[in-house]
Amino acid sequence: MYTLGIESTAHTFGIGISDNDKIIANERDTLRPSSGGIIPREAAMHHFKFAPEILKRALDKSGLKLKDIDLFAFSQGPGIIPALKVGAQLSAFLSKKYGKKLIGVNHCIAHLEIARLYTKLSDPVMLYVSGGNTQIITYYNGTYIVFGETQDIGVGNLIDKIGRKLDIPFPAGPKIEELAKKSRHYIEMPYSIKGMDVSFSGIETFISKLIGREKTEDIAFSLQETVFSMLIEASERAMAYCLKNSLVITGGVAANKRLNEMGEKMCKDRNAAFKAIPMEFAGDNGAMIAYTGYLMKDYKQKDLAIRPRFRTDTVEIKYR
């Protein structure tokens, strides 16, 4: 069964095609604002502009024509409204035109499913860290439970905000990581973990006051060490509590080597498995939407409108 999935929740527009559980195409383009963060309207305009090209590239890569596609899927949420609408409209149009079923997919669950597919870990705890999202998700009693999450902003967003104050362009992650490598001087920062949840806004305020007074390298180093320690600690708590013995890190921030190293060490010390997923499938991508759409092929969904605040734990998982 060929499934075509469209991802458009934030700054990435992606189209992936799966042949049952095999990914045969995964094309995308990401908006990189020259200054500041994502402006919703600009994200949507970017997606409109690139949609035809990405669609063509994905079809070429798979060697298929649109009429060969058996199922269409799109990222229903959570995400930015104008950006979400692009994927929703395009997929609805294609599904209608070719008379094929349309499936709405939860973006966060799609991250988890593609992670399971590529790591072959059947039941991991997932630390999902990106610009907008910071969640620790695990499967429990028929749903994906959000075991811990940010109480305010996503960790990637925190890094980007600090980056902006340090004149580092979006996305700031790679540059912050590079700077952090040059330092070994730790500046004590608020370590804010509340039960299973984490909170970052206090750190943002704290760091704002350090800028100009401390070395940029030291700020980058201390920022990474503090927030990643919090995330790995929360992940470990979820693993201990739910008796899970593997961890996957995904989302854009999963590209950070230090975060992976910390995850790996934590897992090693508790005899758990740790696997990184290929970066192509860690950031937002269309393949994960196609694959999750395929898993959900028998779902009967009444509401296929976009859901900007779509919570992970409201989806009933019937295919596991």
Partner 1 sequence: MKIIAVGSEAVVYEKNNTIIKRRVRKNYRIKEIDEKLRKNRSKAEFNIMRFLYESGLNVPKPLKYLEEKKEIWMEKIEGKRLAEEFSVNSASDIGMVVAEMHNLGIIHGDLTTANMIKKDKKLYIIDFGLSYHSSKDEDFASDIFLFKNALKSKHNDLYKEAYYSFLHAYKSKIRKEFKGIDTHLKDIEERRRYNESY
**For the residues of 76-87, what is the DSSP string, one character each?**
EESS-HHHHHHH
Which of 23/108 has CB closer to partner 1? 108
CB 101 within 8 A of CB 72: yes
For partner 1, the binding residue among 118, 147, 170, 291 (CB under 8 A) is: 147
Q: How far is the CB of 103 from partner 1 (least distance, A)?
A: 19
CB 228 within 8 A of CB 258: yes
Which of 26/250 has CB closer to partner 1? 250
Q: How far is the CB of 302 from partner 1 (least distance, A)?
A: 15
CB 130 within 8 A of CB 159: no
Q: How far is the CB of 140 from partner 1 (least distance, A)?
A: 5
If one asks whether residue 237 binds partner 1 (CB under 8 A), the answer comes out as: yes
3-state secondary structure of 193: strand
Burial label, 70 (beta-carbon count in 10 A; 0-12, 13-18, 19+): middle
For partner 1, the binding residue among 270, 305, 319, 320 (CB under 8 A) is: 270
The tokens for 312 are 């992970």
Q: How far is the CB of 187 from partner 1 (least distance, A)?
A: 9
Strands (E), the chain: 2-7, 12-19, 22-30, 71-77, 101-106, 125-129, 134-140, 143-149, 193-194, 197-198, 246-250, 273-276
Which of 62/312 has CB closer to partner 1? 312
If one asks whether residue 241 binds partner 1 (CB under 8 A), the answer comes out as: yes
Q: How far is the CB of 236 from partner 1 (least distance, A)?
A: 4
The runs of H, that is alpha helices, within 182-215 are: 201-210
Q: How many residues bind partner 1 (CB under 8 A)?
A: 45
Which of 128/294 has CB closer to partner 1? 128
**DSSP code for 272:** -
Binding site for partner 1 (CB under 8 A): 77-78, 132-133, 140-143, 145, 147, 149-151, 186, 188, 191, 193-196, 225-226, 229, 232-233, 236-237, 239-242, 261-263, 265-266, 269-270, 307-312, 314
